[in-house]
């Protein structure tokens, strides 16, 4: 805490720092500075320039006595302490004479592991963004961190040891994060998560990149999934209050939301399919990132000329059904979401605890043709623990924590495919969202506990033979392909991709517990 307090003291001596503004004051300041514009409903729309997404290759962790034995360096860029110190000094000099914004916030609804987070930003809208995303600070804190974000600062690779002019540098020993050269606000959010992902496992707490909600019987459910798999959409359910949208901790006390807000994708957002998220985008103080506005001031969620990664950042409080304390009991159900563009995986399958850990380590989904330049056919994507860029330890450290929590809770794990059936992308069709919602409801309600199952010959998990209200044929992906042998060949290819990815994770790992 002394290190972060010293950083703020140094900033106070060279810059003008505004602190304690409410949302209305931040919106007003952002408007006066020309940082964006209001929508017809009062949301604040901004553009982020060159960077419309994260820059994972420009993210570095200081390699020192604390981090050296723990960080999975094959997955993380290293920066020397002396380079970090030069970067900090130069960013402080860059801040001299500027007007800055300070948000004194907290992360983590678990009282046993609450992070105090001071965020210093160059613009009012970034301050508004992180105020929406984090929560009020608790009286008792486990750790203290400071994030300095200056988009106008350009790093010097020769001087600072960076890859480019963009930098996200994390000093885990002092809990200081420096962000320069990027106005994409998601870097601030994920910097907080990255800090917690390093420190929580050292205390035996399992950090998770997932959403969570809770049913009438206090039954907690977790939803893991990479971007585009439906994690936010499927966990936003008026009948099940939301614990949190994206980041959680699982400890002996249960599940706790890390954040106090949501950072939802808005591409093709529909008021019919996603009413809760759509309603949040119409709320005063919500930040719309790279969303194009029409002449009437209305956001056009179908206009993706700036980026497909359009986003809305809003306080969780604007949603209709929210778990007020941001906490839940030990999970009863865990759902893995994947958008399988190969058309191989079934719409739903039950996993054993051992299979669950392996699928967690795989973190599988598939990109489809047209989503990125050069992709002309479905491409498998494996992101360990459903969030590899933010996981500083070796994936099996998190896998071991997951296995321990599953064993202690007895939670049932389901794999749900929100992707294609009847063929790969371009041949088959996307599984209907209404059918997926029905499958999720069946998994969470426990109605499938005694349902007859068959064992999948390719992956070994079990698949229900029937789910009330859905055609039986839907549950058998092979039966939906016009050519069963073509399905078998596609399934064999996907199995091999899983096996190849698993071998990549077999290297030795550091011990995570102190």
Residues annotated as catalytic are 54, 190, 209, 227, 231-232, 246, 311
Residue 403 has what DSSP assignment? H
Collapsing DSSP to helix, strand or coil, 454 comes out as strand
d(CA 116, CA 118): 7
d(CA 467, CA 435): 10
d(CA 130, CA 110): 19
Picking from 320, 338, 138, 358, the residue whose alpha carbon sits closest to that of residue 213 is 320
Tell which phi-psi region holds residue 152, choosing left (phi > 0), alpha (psi between -120 and 50) or beta: alpha
Q: Phi first, then psi: what are they for 342, rounded to 5°?
A: -85, -15
Helix axis angle for 124-133 and 186-199, nearest 10°, is 40
DSSP string for 86-125: HHHHHHHHHHTT-EEEEEEEEE-S-TTSPEEEEEEESSHH
**Which residue is listed with tokens 């359910």?**
237
Residues 6 or more apart in contact with residue 383 via CB below 8 angstroms: 226, 363, 365, 389
**Long-range contacts from 366-369, C-beta under 8 angstroms, 24+ separation:** 366/338, 366/339, 366/340, 366/341, 366/342, 366/419, 366/425, 367/341, 368/341, 368/425, 369/425, 369/426
**Which residue is listed with tokens 């959680």?**
248
d(CA 502, CA 506): 7
How many other CB atoms are there within 10 angstroms of residue 12's CB atom? 13
The dihedral through the CA atoms of 386, 389, 393, 395 has a sign that is positive
Element (H, E) at 225: strand 220-225
């Amino acid at each position: 805490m002394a290190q972060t307090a010293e950083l703020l003291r140094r900033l106070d001596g060279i810059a003008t720092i505004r602190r304690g503004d409410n949302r209305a004051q931040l919106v007003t300041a952002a408007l006066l500075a020309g940082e964006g514009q209001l929508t017809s409903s009062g949301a604040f729309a901004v553009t982020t320039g060159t960077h419309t997404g994260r820059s994972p290759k420009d993210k570095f962790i200081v390699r020192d006595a604390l981090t050296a034995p723990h960080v999975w360096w094959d997955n993380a860029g290293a920066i020397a302490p002396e380079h970090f110190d030069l970067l900090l000094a130069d960013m402080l000099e860059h801040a001299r004479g500027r007007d800055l914004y300070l948000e004194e916030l907290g992360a983590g609804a678990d009282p046993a592991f609450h992070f105090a987070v001071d965020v210093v930003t160059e613009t009012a809208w970034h301050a508004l963004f992180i105020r929406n995303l984090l929560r009020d600070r608790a009286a008792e804190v486990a750790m203290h961190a400071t994030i300095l974000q200056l988009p106008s600062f350009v790093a010097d690779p020769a001087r600072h040891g960076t890859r480019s002019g963009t930098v996200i540098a994390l000093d885990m020993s002092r809990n200081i994060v420096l962000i320069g050269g990027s106005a994409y606000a998601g870097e601030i959010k994920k910097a907080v998560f990255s800090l917690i992902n390093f420190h929580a496992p050292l205390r035996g707490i399992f950090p998770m990149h997932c959403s969570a909600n809770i049913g009438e019987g206090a039954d907690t459910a977790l939803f893991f999934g990479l971007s585009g798999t439906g994690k936010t959409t499927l966990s936003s359910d008026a009948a099940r209050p939301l614990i949190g949208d994206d980041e959680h901790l699982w400890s002996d006390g249960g599940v706790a939301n890390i954040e106090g807000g949501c950072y939802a994708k808005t591409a093709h957002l529909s008021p019919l399919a996603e009413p809760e998220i759509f309603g949040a985008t119409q709320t005063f103080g919500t930040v719309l990132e790279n969303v194009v506005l029409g002449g009437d001031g209305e956001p056009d969620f179908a206009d993706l000329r700036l980026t497909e990664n359009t986003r809305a950042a809003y306080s969780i409080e604007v949603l209709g059904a929210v778990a007020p304390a941001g906490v839940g009991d030990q999970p009863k159900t865990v759902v893995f979401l994947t958008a399988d563009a190969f058309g191989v995986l079934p719409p739903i399958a039950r996993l054993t605890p051992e299979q669950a850990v392996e699928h967690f380590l795989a973190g599988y989904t598939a990109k489809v043709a047209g989503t990125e330049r050069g992709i002309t056919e479905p491409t498998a994507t494996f992101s360990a623990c459903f969030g590899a860029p933010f996981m500083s330890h070796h994936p099996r450290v998190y896998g071991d924590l997951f296995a321990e929590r599953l064993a202690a809770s007895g939670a049932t794990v389901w794999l749900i495919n929100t992707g294609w059936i009847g063929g790969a992308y371009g041949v088959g069709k996307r599984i209907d969202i209404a059918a997926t919602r029905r499958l999720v409801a069946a998994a969470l309600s426990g109605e499938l506990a005694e349902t007859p199952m068959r064992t999948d010959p390719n992956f070994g998990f079990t698949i229900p033979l029937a789910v009330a209200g859905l055609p039986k044929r839907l549950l058998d992906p092979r039966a939906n392909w016009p050519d069963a042998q073509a399905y078998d060949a596609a399934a064999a290819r996907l199995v091999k991709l899983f096996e190849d990815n698993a071998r990549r994770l077999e290297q030795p790992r550091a011990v995570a517990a102190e």
